Structures are given as structure tokens and as C-alpha cells.
Structure 1
Amino acid sequence: MHIFHRPVVRIWALLVAVLWVVFEAVRAKAGAVASDLLVAVYLTAGVVFVWWWLFSFAARVRRGWPALTKAIGAWQQEPVSRIDETFEYRYPRIVRIRRHELGFDVTVSLLPGQVPKNLGDHVEGIAHTWHVFRVEASSPARGVVVLRVWFTDPLAVPFEAPLMPSVGDVVKRAAGLAVLRYGRTTPEREDPWVPEFASAEIGRCDDGSPWRLRLHGTHVLVAGVTGAGKGSVLWGVVRALLPAARAGIVQLWACDPMRMELSFGRSLFQRYACEPAAMVELLEAAAAEMNRRAQTFAGKVRKHEPSSKCPFVVVIVDELAFLTAYQPDRDLRKRADAAIATLTSQGRSVGFCVIGALQDPRKEVMNIRNLFPDRIALRLDEPNQVDMVLGNGARERGAAAELISPDPEIGAGVGYVKRETQPEPVRVRAAFVSDEAIEAMVRDYGRSGGGFGSAA
């Protein structure tokens, strides 16, 4: 193909011609001084453009895009009209590059026959080529892929959970809630206050926004190896729900086979069990209460609204595989499987949420993981485990949970979330809940601190 047939060459030739015409017109009408000033403007603009082309990220991406697309196999051969014509190739076109708070969004127009997977499969290679922390691929429209680029890891530094409201404030506001729930208005408070129960703010997303974990109307599965930060997720949920529990519209039940995690705040739970038989009885009691509610609601209520008489029950099961796979007593194992399956398949519509944490997501260990609509993949051992937790294709869409750093300062609590309503995995980090924070929760909200209920 002749060089002047290329669009870029044509554009540059047209630009040079226009600049020359402008220069001649200025010199003819305004004289030599004006034309010299115009030349100075041209030179300054040229220097700025050369600096941008050599050193800016956007120009570096555009400059290296042809070679990068060739390396990842995204080129296509142009059709030739004659047998002796030179073969030319074309590649997906960069439409625009826009900055966001932590990097750039590179919008790419795909070639005919290409799909987002053609670029999504190579995001790690693209990140290494561009020397950036991470690249994620998404497709907001047909034929378009957006490569979101992060220069640094926004979740690399651990952070503390936000401050909790005081017990006195919760008691006062809960009293106002109780008055308004019985239909009597008070002049002190016109709008009803409902403590948060539908979701829990437990950390931060990688775009800087708060990470709110949905709870009401769903179940949550948390998977991660030892030291991945499952405790931060569980304690973050407990911490966020304590005001609602103090107000009487949420109950926290806990199964703690390891006796090392949740036992630290045992008095925070309405029901707590750590022995195998007691844990199975707790799960069966939850399933029985769920069935009783379902019979009561049948034909009368379509959506559960928490109240003191019908609270939202959150059942937290740490090391879920201990009951479903590793429990040596076969009868207890079958009873636990049946109770968990009943709760996860029927419980969310009547105000029950199961939060299960485990280390090994394989099917032979946890064969009902698909009954958990919302799932969290913390640091895992193998790439194929990511799809086991988050669903098929999650690893290809950027959820590289096996690459999370094993250093607790960098990787503890970092993971990817798959929401029922959002197929794209979101990178998050759970806030660190220290022993001192748990002790403060026990002191303020536990039974000895004037809290609630007794543990089983």
C-alpha cells in the first residue's frame, strides 16, 4: 500500500498544508513580525507535542499499541485487491484515553468478529507492558472494550473500621424507632430512624467508594486461605449490625468450631455454639424458625420487614467445611448439610441470612456453594479456585485472587466480590478490626455492657 494511502500520513500532510497556508496569509497581511511570532507559536506547540508523545502515558499507550496488539494476536489481515499487493494489517482502534482518579480508562473499538475476551484474556500482559499495577477489561457496549488502568494499588495500605455510634445514642434513637413503629408520632423526631440492617459497610472498593456488603435478601460465602482476612469480613459484619441488634431488629447467631475467632466476642451473639452437636442444633433451630415464619407469612407477606417480633437473623458459620466435609460424625454431617441447604435455599425471603467462611472451595468440600448468591474470594491457592467461588469467567474478567500478596500488611482482607446483580467482580478490602475494637464492642454492646440476649 502506498504511504499516502495511510490515514495518519494524510492527516499530517493536511495539517502541514494548513499551517503553511496560515503562515503565508499572516506574513502577507501582518508582516514579518507577526509571522515570526506565529513561527514561535508553532515551535512551542511542536515542543509540547514532542514532550507529550515521548513522556505521557496516553501517548506511550498509543505509540506502542500496534506492537502490543500484534503480540497478543489482536491483528487482522486487510483484504487485498491484487495478488501482487503487499499485505497490510489492522488492529483494534483506541477511541479515547481518559484519566480517572487513580489511573486511565482506555476505550478500544474492536474489529469485526472480535469479542471482549480477545483483550480480556491478556490484561496481565497489558499491565506488564504498560508498567502499571493492574488492568481490568469491561465491555459497556457492543464492539467496545474499556481497559481500566491503575498506576498503584489503592488498597495496599490497611485501614481501621469507621467509628461506631455510642450505645447511648443507639438506645435513644432505638426508643424513637419503637414509638414510631406503634404509629404514635413524637415532636422530637418526625422521621423514623431505622438502624442499618440491609447491608454492612465493612471496607473499601478499589475506586475509593465504601464497600457495602448486602445482607438482607441474600446469603454470603467467604473463601480464602489461612491469613487471607476472613476474620476481618466476619467482624466487619458483626460490627456494622450491632446498633440494629441493640435496637432489637437483628439477631446474630454464630457457629465457631475453631473457638479462636468469634469466641473473642461471644457475648455479642444472641446464640453461640462451638461444639459440633451444639452447632448442628443451632442450625436446625434456625431452619425450624425459618419454616415457622414461612407458614406465618404465607399468603400475607411478600417481603420481610425486620421488627422486634420478627427480627432479621444473621447466622455466621466460621470454617463451614468443618460441618459439611470434615466432621467425623456422619449423622451430624448430614444434619448440618440439610440445615444449611434449607436455610440457603429458602431463608432469605423470610429474613434469614447465612454467612459462611471456608478455606477450600472445592465441590467435594462445599457442594452447595451455588446457593450463596453473593460471594467473596479472598487470597486463594490456585487460579481455578477463583471460578469455583465467583463463577465461570471471573478469573478472565480480572479476579486474580491467587495473586493477592501473602504479606498481611498488603494482602489481608483484600479480595474480589461477586454480587448477584452484578456479574463483574469488584476488588475490595475489608477494614481491619483490631482486638481492642472487639473488646470495646464487647464492653459497650455485650451482655456485661447492657447489651442483649444470652448465648446458647
Structure 2
Amino acid sequence: MIVLASAPSAGETWLSWVLMVAAALASGLLLAGPALRRRYPAAWWMCIGYPAACIRVARTWRPLMAGCGLAVSRKAALTVVSGLVGNGAPPPQPRVPRRGAVRLAPGGFWFLVRLLPGQVPEDFVNAAPAMAHDWEVHAVRVTTWKPGVVRIAAMAADPLKDPRIPKQRGAERLLRVVVGVLETGTQWVFDLRHIPHWLIVGATRSGKSTLINALVAGLAPQPVALVGIDCKGGMELSLYGPRLSALATNRAQAVKLLAALVDETQDRMELCRADRVRNIWGLADDKRPVPIVVIVDEIAELFLIAGRSEKDEAQAAATALVRLAQLGAALGVYLVVAGQRVGSDLGPGVTALRAQLGGRVCHRVADPGTAEMTLGDLNPDALQAAQSIAPEDAGTAVLASADGWERARSRLVSEEEAESIAAEYAHLTPYLPALADGAGGFTVHLERLDRDE
């Protein structure tokens, strides 16, 4: 008996060609994967990393939830045992939290999970390391999306290890500065109009000075006044001398400078009251006073007391800073307070001041109390992330506010570059008559800003 083989149909030929092309593309991507990941990480993630991650999440979700204690049995234990003995039936599959679709993100992915009755977000926070290992990603972060729902976000690699700051789009807004990159790969922005006062802490060589350099470098080209208080003899802030409207280099000068700034806020308050506006941004352009950014380096030097004679100075400095923090946001006076250590042992003024500083940045610190003082009252969940910053991760920090917390890394601005920027924009240094008239030993830059040019 002879059987004749029929020729393949057009549909079968087309399907075989599609499979061959798909196999060739998949093989090419796998072979070129390492090189593609090094040179074009975004393309590698979209073509290879993200699809593979979706498969891993789908394959491991149920056993992962069971292994982390997040699965719930559908029947009581006694009912299950009796059913097995009586009927020889297999045990029912446990209920696992229902998750949404895995969504693409720059360098990672995220999805939503609905909690089962009795579960809380902290249960998933504790399971985050296990998720990272099972999905072969750098880190997993769990946050509350809304009551009963958590958001699970994963990063394939650490974007802070070799940060690439996204390009700035459009002109920079007043008092808004890009200082680095967030762990999501987006810009790290200091927006003093949004969060007017900041506390920055970090041990020696943790990146605190680099962040201040980046902040000053971004503010220098803007029409704002920069005022410095550096009670370590001006060793840090004197780099920006040509761009500073005033600089205090010891506590006695700092007290007088702060008193002059408090008087300036009182004058601005009267100006706003006369025009029946609630802040300086409601004033006409020709009446609006120049914004002032006060940078305090090493806050402990203002509060530490070596003897009874220094107590009054420390108390005066603390009172003036708290008053500036309370009144300054509406009157165009903004505080950036930095230090290696912040603790209640420095005096009650520190705690009162901290309550007014809505933005917090915590680099690697030498003691857990400083991290607790910086982040504990805003975002307790950020403490663990801050305390895990390694010494070699200079520039990496945890920033927190009422909006939440994130890991970030500031861009590197060297001392030479900071000096160059300060000299380049020295002609923009505003003349502040209130500081010049009350100069009590601190340095005042008397070059007037010519607004007519």
C-alpha cells in the first residue's frame, strides 16, 4: 500500500516560518543579553528582563505566599484531617492573596495585592527579602496603596550604584533644584516651595557635603539669596563665599545673623499684611522680596554647651531657628539644616526645631539614635533602609517627608566645581540691607543685584 504525503498548506508554512523567526530572535537575544544589558540596560530590561520577571512571579507566587506564611487554609485543620481520613481526598489548596497584573517600570516592575482577612502590610514587608531572592531582583519594596491593598515594587538592579541623572526638561523653576537620582531612576528634586525646610544628617564622608554642594550649585544661578552659618570656622561654606549674602563662622556671629533674619521676617510680615496677602508670592513682582535660603552646617555646634556662659547663646540660636522655621515658609525664608549627629541630648531646642523641618535626608550615620531622630517620627519604615547604608555607598541616603520615603543618591559636585560655580554667579548675589545694617561681625556680601540689566 502506497501512502502519498500531501504538500504543506500555506497556513502551515506561514506558521513554521513564524516559529523559526521567533526562535532565532529568542536565541539572538539570549546570546547578546550580557552585552545588551551592559550597553543598553533599558532595552535589555524591556526585551528580556521584564518578560522573564513576569514568568518568575507567576510561577512562584503561590509557593512563595505559602512559604512566607501569607497563605490561608480554606478549611479548619480538623475538617481537613477528617476529610483525608474518611475520603482519601487531596487537601484543598490554600487561599493566597490575589495580585494584579505585573506592570512595567523603569528598571523594574510593580503590581497590587489585595490582603486577606487578618493580614496587615507589615506581613508583606517582612516577606520582601524572600520575594527579592525568588524573583532574582535587587530589592523589593512594599508600601500601602490604600486600605486592604499593598503595592509591591521590585528593582532589577540598584540604580544608585551607577546613577544616571535624567536630563532636565525645560527651564528650572525658582527654588527647585535637581540634586541627584532616586532609586526609581527619576530625578531627586529639592523643591523648597513644596517642602520649605530640610534636615540633612550624615557621618563623615557619607555624602552630606556632596549633597549641599549639589544644592548650592543648583541655587546659585537663581535669583535667591544664600546665607550660611558654619560654626566650624567656615571650613565648609566658605567655598561659596562670593555667592553668599552673609556668612557666620562662630556661634556669636550666628546668633546675631539669626536675629537679623528674624527681624527680616517681621518686616516681610508687615509688608504682606499691608497688601492683605497671606505670603510673599501674593505680592506684585516689584514688591516681592528676594527669597532667602539659610544653610546651617553642623547644627550641633550651635547647641552644644561647654559652660554656663554659653547657655544663653545656644538658647538664643535655638529660639531664632525655630521662629524662622515657623514663619519662614510663607515669608520666603527657607532652612537647610545639616549635621553629623542630631539627638535630644543637644537640648530641647533640637526637638522643637526638628518638628518644623518637614523634609529629612539621612545618609549613613554613626549611631542609630540619629537615624531615629531624623526619620522615626515621619516614616519608621525608613529606619531599616537608612541603617543598612554601607560605608562604601557614599552619597546614598534615605529621604523622607509626609509624602513617604525613598532611597536616593546625590550627584557628585567637587569642591573645585563648587568654588567655580560660586565665582561664576557672584554677580547674582542679592544685597540685603537688613543684614548689612545689623552686621555683627559676620561677613556680609555688599554687592547689589542690579535688576535693570
Structure 2 length normalisation: TM-score?
A: 0.73
* Letter of the structure 2 residue corresponding to residue 206 of structure 1: E
Classify 1:158/1:90 alpha carbon distance in 2 versus 1 (closer, same or farther; 3 Å).
closer
How far does residue 272 in structure 1 lie from its aligned partner after superposition?
A: 0.3
The answer on 1:238 being equivalent to 2:216 is yes
1:85 to 83, 86, 102: 83
User: What is the distance in 2 between the residues matched to 1:373 and 1:117?
Assistant: 25
User: What is the distance in 1 between the residues matched to 2:306 and 2:256?
Assistant: 14
The residue matched to 1:345 in structure 2 has which SS? helix
User: What is the distance in 2 between the residues matched to 1:161 and 1:102?
Assistant: 14
8 A Cα contact 1:397 1:425, kept in partner: yes
Q: How many aligned positions are there?
A: 380
The answer on 1:288 being equivalent to 2:263 is yes
The residue matched to 1:272 in structure 2 has which SS? strand
Aligned to 2:203: 225
Aligned to 1:443: 423
User: What is the distance in 2 between the residues matched to 1:384 and 1:73?
Assistant: 32
How far does residue 309 in structure 1 lie from its aligned partner after superposition?
A: 5.9
Aligned to 1:12: none
Classify 1:334/1:294 alpha carbon distance in 2 versus 1 (closer, same or farther; 3 Å).
same
The residue matched to 2:341 in structure 1 has which SS? coil
The answer on 1:405 being equivalent to 2:390 is yes
Aligned to 1:273: 248
Aligned to 1:434: 414
8 A Cα contact 1:446 1:452, kept in partner: no
Aligned to 1:390: 375
Aligned to 1:320: 299
Q: Deviations over 1:301-331 (max 9, x none)?
A: 2121376761111111001121123565211
The residue matched to 1:290 in structure 2 has which SS? helix
User: What is the distance in 2 between the residues matched to 1:336 and 1:149?
Assistant: 45
Aligned to 2:54: 58
* Letter of the structure 2 residue corresponding to residue 222 of structure 1: I
2:396 to 391, 405, 414: 414
2:151 to 146, 153, 159: 146
How far does residue 161 in structure 1 lie from its aligned partner after superposition?
A: 11
Aligned to 2:35: none
Cα RMSD over matched residues? 3.6
The answer on 1:302 being equivalent to 2:305 is no
Q: Deviations over 1:374-420 (max 9, x none)?
A: 1112223456654532344735368601222311xxx2222122234
Q: Deviations over 1:346-377 (max 9, x none)?
A: 22111111110022233333313111011112
Q: Deviations over 1:282-301 (max 9, x none)?
A: 11211121122223323622
Aligned to 2:106: 101
8 A Cα contact 2:229 2:247, kept in partner: yes
Aligned to 1:379: 364
Aligned to 1:67: 63
User: What is the distance in 2 between the residues matched to 1:149 and 1:61?
Assistant: 11
The residue matched to 2:405 in structure 1 has which SS? strand
Classify 1:397/1:84 alpha carbon distance in 2 versus 1 (closer, same or farther; 3 Å).
farther
How far does residue 451 in structure 1 lie from its aligned partner after superposition?
A: 5.1
Of 373-382 and 82-91, deviating more is 82-91
8 A Cα contact 1:376 1:389, kept in partner: yes
The residue matched to 1:56 in structure 2 has which SS? helix
How far does residue 434 in structure 1 lie from its aligned partner after superposition?
A: 1.2
How far does residue 442 in structure 1 lie from its aligned partner after superposition?
A: 3.1
* Letter of the structure 2 residue corresponding to residue 97 of structure 1: V
Q: Deviations over 1:421-453 (max 9, x none)?
A: x1x212222111112212312331236xx8555
User: What is the distance in 2 between the residues matched to 1:106 and 1:373?
Assistant: 29
How far does residue 238 in structure 1 lie from its aligned partner after superposition?
A: 1.6
The residue matched to 2:101 in structure 1 has which SS? strand
8 A Cα contact 1:327 1:333, kept in partner: no
Structure 1 length normalisation: TM-score?
A: 0.73
8 A Cα contact 2:242 2:423, kept in partner: no
8 A Cα contact 1:161 1:203, kept in partner: no
1:336 to 308, 317, 326: 317
How far does residue 160 in structure 1 lie from its aligned partner after superposition?
A: 8.5
Q: What does 1:170-249 align with in structure 2 at a 5 Å threshold?
A: 196-216=173-193, 218-245=196-223
Aligned to 1:311: 290
1:354 to 323, 329, 335: 335
Structure 2 stretches lacking a partner, 5+ long = 1-5, 31-47, 85-90, 437-442, 445-453
8 A Cα contact 1:315 1:355, kept in partner: yes
